[in-house]
Amino acid sequence: MAWSNIHRTIGSNGQVTVNTGYWEETISLLDWRTGQPDDGKRAYTSSIPISTDFSFTVLMTFNNDVTTDVSIKVEHSVDGTNWTTAAQSGTTALSTADFTGGTDISTLAVIDDSAQAENTTGYFFVYDPETHGGSRYIRFGTPDWGNIDCSAYTIKFQIIPH
């Protein structure tokens, strides 16, 4: 899919209402069970269609209750093809085992399922380019959730400029 900023609602009498002012894209998650074709892959939006020179709010709506911990990541690219998947702040390199030595700034949000009320499907975060960086192309998504078939899940991302 791709980002859309035209949102149509059809009323009971057939009247069409169009709302603009925000961008929206829905992504499907994958079958991340061990040995499946999607195992280890990430599920990402297409490149966001607005400038990342300023902060904006991102709403995320899952079609089902999240039943595991989920991290939401940002990736950057200069050409829209080759994506950088990890980032850090700090003066020393991050350990690949435990992320010591700096802060992983590619993680935008972590949803802790055990801390959420039942049937929580909506979340939001503020994307701040001074914290998470800016580049010509940026996309949001989630890495492999582990040994789970998530192919029935979708995440709707909505960007609301400030």
* pTM of the complete model: 0.81
Smallest CA-to-CA distance from 89 within 110, 71, 108, 106 is with 106
Smallest CA-to-CA distance from 76 within 141, 24, 162, 22 is with 141
Arithmetic mean of pLDDT, 38-67: 88
Q: Are strands 154-161 and 56-62 parallel, antiparallel or unpaired?
A: antiparallel
The percentage of residues in the chain with a pLDDT greater than 70, rounded to a whole number, is 85
Arithmetic mean of pLDDT, 84-105: 65
Q: What does the domain layout of the chain look like in residue ranges?
A: 22-161
For the cut 80, the answer to whether the pLDDT of residue 117 exceeds it is no
Q: List the CATH code of the domain at 22-161.
A: 2.60.120
